[in-house]
C-alpha cells in the first residue's frame, strides 16, 4: 500500500507556498551578501580544524544501563538515547561527510568513529529537518532494516522514503503535535527558527525541535535554531526539562537568525527551563569559520555566568540523565 503523505498546506506554518518561522528570519544579516560569505569562508583561520584527532570513548551501545535515560553523542547533532527497552536515534550522520558530495564537509579526524554497525536496533529514529548534516541518505539506507519507525517534521517523510526500500512507518509531525510511542513515552514536535532544503529546494518541508517524554524524565531536543521567543514558550508549556540538547556551533554574525551564538545557547537553555545543558552541533563538521572548539569554550563561560550546569561528554561517552554528567574539558 502506497504511503499517503500529509499535505503541507494544512499547516498554519505553511504560507505563500513555503514553510515560515514564527518571526521574520532572513538567511543573512542586513548588508551581507552570499559572495561576501563565500570569500570569508575560504579565508578560514587554521584553527577551524582540530590539530589532533578528536578524542572519543569506545562504548558498547548495546550493553548500557538503561534504568534512567542514557545519551551517547556521536559528534555534531547525532546522538543515541536509550531508556529501558527503547532506543532513539537522532539525526544520525555516519557517512563521514555532511554534503551531497563525499569530498566536501568531511568529518574531522577522530570524530567519525561510530558507524551504523555499532548501533543497537532502533525503535525510533528522529529527523529534525532535511539538511545534509542532519539527514544522511547513506546512514538511513544502512539502518533501514533495523529501524522500526521514523518521526520527522512535516514534509521530510518523502526525503526519508527515497533512501529506503519498500514501505516504512514514517510519522510526519507539525509543531505542537504529540504522538504516543509507548505507555508513558511521548514525542512532541515544537518550533525552531531555521529553514530547510536539499539542493535548490528551500522551505518546502518543516524544521522542528522535539520534546521527548520518557515516563518522569523529559528531554528537549533542539535541532537547529536561531534564538527567538519560542524557547520561552516551550519552557512554559513543557518545562522544566531534565536536559536540553541545544545547537552550539556553526554560527556567524553573517547569519545570526538561523544559528545561535554560544551565549544565546546558554540563554535558550534557561528559557526552556533546562536543569542541564548539553551543547551539540560541534566537534565533527566545519560549516562556519570559527575555531573548532570556540563554541564549547564560549558556552562554558556563558553557562558559568548563569549558574547553568553543563554536560560536556566526549564522543561516545555515556551521559546518565539525573545521575552523572561528564564535565571534563577535553577540547583544550
* Over residues 10-27, mean pLDDT: 96
Query: 67, 49, 156: which is closest to 109 by C-alpha?
Result: 49
The reported pLDDT for the residue numbered 272 is 99
The reported pLDDT for the residue numbered 178 is 98
The band of 155, judged by pLDDT with boundaries at 50, 70 and 90, is: very high
* Over residues 227-232, mean pLDDT: 99
Query: 232, 177, 244, 186: which is closest to 208 by C-alpha?
Result: 177
Question: Which CATH superfamily includes the segment(s) 54-320?
Answer: Ribonuclease Z/Hydroxyacylglutathione hydrolase-like (3.60.15.10)
So where are the chain's domains? Answer: 54-320
Task: Provide the grid cell at 84.
Answer: 529501558
212 has which bridge partners?
Answer: 187, 219
The reported pLDDT for the residue numbered 159 is 97
The band of 169, judged by pLDDT with boundaries at 50, 70 and 90, is: very high
Residue 229 Cα distances to 21, 22, 23, 119, 192, angstroms: 11, 9, 9, 36, 10
> Which of 78-82, 89-93, 165-169, 282-286 is the least confident region?
165-169
150 has which bridge partners?
Answer: 125, 170
* Over residues 107-135, mean pLDDT: 98
Model confidence at 329: pLDDT above 80:
yes
* Over residues 4-11, mean pLDDT: 85
The reported pLDDT for the residue numbered 45 is 85
The reported pLDDT for the residue numbered 34 is 92
The band of 1, judged by pLDDT with boundaries at 50, 70 and 90, is: very low
240 has which bridge partners?
Answer: none
Averaged pLDDT score across all residues of the chain: 96
Model confidence at 2: pLDDT above 70:
no
The reported pLDDT for the residue numbered 7 is 84
The reported pLDDT for the residue numbered 10 is 86
The band of 41, judged by pLDDT with boundaries at 50, 70 and 90, is: confident
Sort 20 into a burial class: Cβ within 10 Å, 0-12 / 13-18 / 19+: middle
Percent of the chain surpassing pLDDT 90: 91
Residues 141 and 144: their CA atoms lie apart, in Å, by 5
Alpha helix segments (H runs only) across the chain: 34-42, 137-143, 157-162, 230-238, 262-271, 294-305
Q: Which residues lie closer than 8 Å to 61 by C-beta, 6 or more apart?
A: 72, 80, 82, 118, 119, 120
* Over residues 199-223, mean pLDDT: 98
Amino acid at each position: 500500500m502506497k504511503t499517503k503523505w500529509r499535505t503541507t498546506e494544512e499547516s498554519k506554518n505553511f504560507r505563500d507556498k513555503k514553510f515560515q518561522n514564527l518571526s521574520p528570519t532572513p538567511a543573512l544579516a542586513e548588508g551581507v551578501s552570499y559572495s561576501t560569505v563565500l570569500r570569508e569562508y575560504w579565508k578560514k583561520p587554521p584553527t577551524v580544524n582540530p590539530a589532533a584527532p578528536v578524542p572519543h570513548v569506545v562504548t558498547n551501545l548495546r550493553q548500557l544501563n538503561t534504568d534512567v535515560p542514557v545519551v551517547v553523542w556521536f559528534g555534531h547533532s547525532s546522538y543515541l538515547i536509550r531508556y529501558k527497552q527503547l532506543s532513539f536515534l537522532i539525526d544520525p550522520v555516519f557517512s563521514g561527510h555532511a554534503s551531497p558530495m563525499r569530498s566536501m564537509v568531511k568529518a574531522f579526524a577522530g570524530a567519525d568513529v561510530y558507524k551504523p554497525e555499532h548501533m543497537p536496533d532502533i525503535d525510533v529514529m528522529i529527523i529534525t529537518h532535511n539538511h545534509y548534516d542532519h539527514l544522511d541518505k547513506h546512514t538511513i539506507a544502512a539502518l533501514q532494516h533495523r529501524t522500526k519507525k521514523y518521526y520527522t517534521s512535516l514534509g521530510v517523510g518523502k526525503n526519508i522514503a527515497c533512501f529506503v526500500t519498500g514501505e516504512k512507518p514514517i510519522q510526519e509531525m507539525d509543531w505542537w503535535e504529540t504522538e504516543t510511542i509507548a505507555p508513558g513515552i511521548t514525542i512532541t514536535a515544537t518550533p525552531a527558527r531555521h529553514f530547510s532544503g536539499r539542493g535548490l529546494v528551500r522551505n518546502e518541508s518543516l524544521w522542528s525541535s522535539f520534546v521527548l517524554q520518557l515516563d518522569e524524565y523529559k528531554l528537549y531536543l533542539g535541532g537547529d535554531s536561531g534564538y527567538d521567543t519560542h524557547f520561552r514558550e516551550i519552557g512554559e508549556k513543557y518545562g522544566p526539562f531534565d536536559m536540553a540538547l541545544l545547537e552550539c556551533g556553526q554560527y556567524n554574525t553573517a547569519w545570526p537568525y538561523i544559528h545561535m551564538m554560544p551565549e544565546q545557547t546558554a540563554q535558550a537553555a534557561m528559557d526552556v527551563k533546562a536543569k542541564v545543558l548539553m551543547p551539540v552541533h560541534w566537534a565533527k563538521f566545519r560549516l562556519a569559520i570559527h575555531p573548532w572548539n570556540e563554541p564549547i569554550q564560549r558556552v562554558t563561560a556563558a553557562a558559568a555566568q548563569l549558574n547553568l550546569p553543563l554536560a560536556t561528554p566526549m564522543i561516545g561517552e555515556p551521559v546518565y540523565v539525573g545521575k552523572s554528567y561528564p564535565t571534563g574539558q577535553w577540547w583544550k
